[in-house]
Amino acid sequence: MSLITLIPLLPLLGFLINGIGFRHVPKSLAGIISTGAALASFACVLSLFFGFDGKPQIVSVFDWITVGKLNISMSFLIDQLSLLMLLIITGVGSLIHIYSIGYMSHDEGFGKFFAFLNLFLFFMLLLVMGSNYVVMFIGWEGVGLCSYLLIGFWNKNNNYGNAARKAFIMNRIGDLGFLLGIFLIITHFGSVEYADVLERVTDGGYASGDKTLFYITILLFVGAMGKSAQIPLYTWLPDAMAGPTPVSALIHAATMVTAGIYMIIRSNFMYSLAPDTLHIVAWVGTATAILAASIGLFQNDIKKVLAYSTVSQLGYMFMGLGVMAYSSSFFHVMTHAFFKALLFLGAGSVIHAMSDEQDIRKMGGLRKALPITFITFLIATIAISGIPPFAGFFSKDEILAHVFEHDKVMWGFAVFGSMMTSFYMFRLLFLTFFGEFRGTHEQEHHLHESPITMTAPLMILAVLSAAGGFFNLPHIFGGHASLAEFMAPLFAHSNVEHAAVDESLEKTLMIVSVIAALVSAGLAYVIYVGKKTIPVADEQVSGFQKVVYNKYYIDELYDKVFVKPITALSNFFSSVFEFLVIDLIVEGIGKLVKALSAEARLLQNGTTGYYIFAMVLSIAIIIIYSLKSFILG
């Protein structure tokens, strides 16, 4: 068995052991099995990565569906993109596994949790390793399932269950788009293999703006919208914070939600020929980035702030995709995976120390009690705010530079969004770690730094968040943009414009966005540390702030426009249509048969002579019928 098939197989094995043996496998062993599986996968990926010679490699496991000319095989593709995704998934995934050993140690569903985490890893690996859209789709659905299972992990709480259902249903809407996109690909190209589709598209002489490609790309993008939480399908992600914090870090920040970006980069040769779609992608991304960031400004739940921040950062990635800066977007996926996972894990550490308190109004002054968490959280905050030389700065500014080239207005929005990012992140940092402690006495007494299994991943991620930008250091800082160069073969067919941004212009843009970030960070300092402002209680929020605090009432709007009418319709069907039409038809047929047979059974009266008479009569009729022409002449 080759190393490649081993990568997804190991987590699957871990899932089977922990899943089937739940409550039988001892707690200490369950964590080790799962984490071991994740780490072993990571080791396989590393050895693949260092042995990679630049040539894509396809490993076919078995032929899965063969219908007519269409052949869909279960096969894995190892190329630049999947390797990088694999590194992120297994690397960050392993760290989060280690973290979870500490975080979930008091939970009774410990083994179940690790089984689900491993199942998630398996599907996520399938998603990025598949060599065709169908395998990607299996992974896509699988991670959706795991997301559902893990959001509703504490299934005794009804609200959590509802959040899980919401996430699942909203994802289904996107999945429908993705599925239709795959069908279109099959009808037009007759294959779902990436390599074949690429060949048909490049040989097919498709002009830029081709209608077919437009429909395919827009449908795929609908799928990406659902999975990557873009307007209008983003509301599930903040609710998904109901799950345990490591889940939020792994699934709802670092890996699963970036599946949409992965898919678009995978299909970049089609997107590049569909400028209208790219336009839509870019503007949806921009709108999402701004909207989510603005909601994040006034949230008081530590995880909710991070959730909206994730939505907003995903918006930036789509913005980058929309202007065909694929490698920059991917760079942001990578750095975001580092610092957002770190932020969530840090938040988890805080929540752990605060005995499950998530409201930042009740925190404050935690930097003394949780020094490691504080330092790492600070690094992540600086990274996400785009302050050099931390990771977020490089990736975000690369996207911004490409956006500037493409559309100045969009760039303006993007900078405004990054100002808000910096503000809400520093607001979160100051309210949590500075000032006086505002919780109860027991909480204060209970405050403690997390165990080593939790802080070690924090420190590793902090190093990555701080230094991650150097993987793709731009030329103006003397770097080689090595990530972009590594990924270049992926975009060989999509005519990505390599018009280098003017260096002095690039510098100006960077300075502008850094100043913007610093100004809003300073503003946050003045408000929350200087004036010691504490966000008011929910009832006292008023005016426009109230609208924003309530997320622009988008959830309520969806409820009114979609959920209520559909519920009303199904109620109508269940009470009226079901009763009057379905029951009538089904029961009517039954009654009819019964009535007819009540008459017909009288024919069977038991008298032998009668039977013989019927037989003779029937034979006579048959004979007359068959000799009809003979008799009638």
Residue spans of alpha helices (H) in 323-390: 326-353, 371-385
Tokens 């490049």 label which residue? 202
CB of 607 to other proteins, least distance (A): 5
* Residue number with CB closer to other proteins (478 or 609): 609
For residue 616, state whether it binds other proteins (rule: CB under 8 A).
yes
What is the C-alpha separation between 283 and 272, in angstroms, rounded? Answer: 16
CB of 615 to other proteins, least distance (A): 9
User: In one letter, which amino acid is 616?
Assistant: V
* Residue number with CB closer to other proteins (159 or 618): 618
For residue 627, state whether it binds other proteins (rule: CB under 8 A).
no
For residue 606, state whether it binds other proteins (rule: CB under 8 A).
yes
User: What tokens appear for 308 in the block?
Assistant: 């909206």
* Residue number with CB closer to other proteins (504 or 607): 607
* Residue number with CB closer to other proteins (540 or 607): 607
Q: Which stretch binds other proteins (CB under 8 A): 18-26, 305-313, 401-409, 596-604?
A: 596-604
User: What tokens appear for 350 in the block?
Assistant: 């805080």
What is the C-alpha separation between 196 and 173, in angstroms, rounded? Answer: 28
Q: Single out the residue of 408, 441, 445, 601 in contact with other proteins (rule: CB under 8 A).
A: 601
* Residue number with CB closer to other proteins (567 or 597): 597
Whether the bond into 238 is cis, omega within 30 of 0: no
Residue count of the chain: 633
What is the C-alpha separation between 309 and 317, in angstroms, rounded? Answer: 12
CB of 608 to other proteins, least distance (A): 4
* Residue number with CB closer to other proteins (605 or 626): 605
For residue 613, state whether it binds other proteins (rule: CB under 8 A).
yes
Are 375 and 457 in contact by the 8 Å Cβ rule? The answer is: no
User: What tokens appear for 544 in the block?
Assistant: 């426009």
Binding mask 7-26 toward other proteins (x if CB under 8 A, else -) reads --------------------
* Residue number with CB closer to other proteins (609 or 633): 609
* Residue number with CB closer to other proteins (608 or 626): 608
Q: Which stretch binds other proteins (CB under 8 A): 22-30, 270-278, 381-389, 607-615?
A: 607-615
CB of 16 to other proteins, least distance (A): 57
The DSSP letter of residue 131 is S
* Residue number with CB closer to other proteins (356 or 599): 599
Q: Which stretch binds other proteins (CB under 8 A): 277-285, 373-381, 469-477, 608-616?
A: 608-616
For residue 504, state whether it binds other proteins (rule: CB under 8 A).
no
CB of 595 to other proteins, least distance (A): 15
Q: Single out the residue of 156, 609, 625, 628 in contact with other proteins (rule: CB under 8 A).
A: 609
CB of 591 to other proteins, least distance (A): 19
Q: Which stretch binds other proteins (CB under 8 A): 224-232, 365-373, 567-575, 600-608?
A: 600-608
CB of 624 to other proteins, least distance (A): 15
Q: Single out the residue of 158, 540, 608, 629 in contact with other proteins (rule: CB under 8 A).
A: 608
Query: Pick from 140, 170, 176: which is nearest to 240 by CA?
Result: 170
Which residues, in sequence order, are CB contacts of 271 under 8 Å at separation 6+? 217, 264, 277, 278, 281, 321, 324, 494
Q: Which stretch binds other proteins (CB under 8 A): 406-414, 423-431, 443-451, 606-614?
A: 606-614
Q: Single out the residue of 537, 602, 631, 632 in contact with other proteins (rule: CB under 8 A).
A: 602
Q: Which residues pair with 71 in a beta bridge?
A: 66
CB of 613 to other proteins, least distance (A): 6
For residue 629, state whether it binds other proteins (rule: CB under 8 A).
no
Whether the bond into 232 is cis, omega within 30 of 0: yes
The DSSP letter of residue 530 is I
- Percent composition of the chain: helix, strand, coil (DSSP 3-state, to 5): 75, 5, 20
CB of 612 to other proteins, least distance (A): 6
Q: Which residues pair with 130 in a beta bridge?
A: 76
The DSSP letter of residue 79 is S
CB of 596 to other proteins, least distance (A): 14
* Residue number with CB closer to other proteins (568 or 623): 623
Q: Which residues pair with 74 in a beta bridge?
A: 62
What is the C-alpha separation between 156 and 173, in angstroms, rounded? Answer: 27
Q: At what angle do helices 259-266 and 80-103 cross, to 10 degrees?
A: 170
Q: Which stretch binds other proteins (CB under 8 A): 106-114, 255-263, 415-423, 604-612?
A: 604-612
CB of 587 to other proteins, least distance (A): 24
The DSSP letter of residue 256 is G
Q: Which stretch binds other proteins (CB under 8 A): 84-92, 427-435, 576-584, 610-618?
A: 610-618
What is the C-alpha separation between 388 and 381, in angstroms, rounded? Answer: 12
For residue 604, state whether it binds other proteins (rule: CB under 8 A).
yes
For residue 158, state whether it binds other proteins (rule: CB under 8 A).
no
* Residue number with CB closer to other proteins (577 or 610): 610
CB of 602 to other proteins, least distance (A): 7
CA dihedral angle for residue 187, residue 188, residue 190, residue 194, rounded to 10 degrees: -120
Q: Three-class SS string for 419-453?
A: HHHHHHHHHHHHHHHCCCCCCCHHHHHHCCCCCHH
The DSSP letter of residue 451 is P
Q: Which stretch binds other proteins (CB under 8 A): 124-132, 348-356, 447-455, 597-605?
A: 597-605
Number of residues that bind other proteins (CB under 8 A): 11
What is the C-alpha separation between 511 and 194, in angstroms, rounded? Answer: 40
Which residues, in sequence order, are CB contacts of 286 under 8 Å at separation 6+? 315, 319, 410, 413, 414, 417
The DSSP letter of residue 275 is H
The three-class DSSP label of residue 61 is: strand
Q: Within positions 521 to 560, which residues make up the interface with other proteins, using CB under 8 A? A: none
Are 335 and 465 in contact by the 8 Å Cβ rule? The answer is: yes
CB of 601 to other proteins, least distance (A): 5
What is the C-alpha separation between 464 and 103, in angstroms, rounded? Answer: 21
CB of 603 to other proteins, least distance (A): 9
The three-class DSSP label of residue 60 is: strand
Are 222 and 174 in contact by the 8 Å Cβ rule? The answer is: yes
Q: Single out the residue of 557, 582, 585, 612 in contact with other proteins (rule: CB under 8 A).
A: 612
For residue 607, state whether it binds other proteins (rule: CB under 8 A).
yes
What is the C-alpha separation between 74 and 72, in angstroms, rounded? Answer: 7
CB of 614 to other proteins, least distance (A): 11
* Residue number with CB closer to other proteins (604 or 626): 604
CB of 609 to other proteins, least distance (A): 7
Q: Which residues pair with 75 in a beta bridge?
A: 60
Which residues, in sequence order, are CB contacts of 28 under 8 Å at separation 6+? none
Q: Which residues bind other proteins (CB under 8 A)?
A: 601-602, 604-609, 612-613, 616
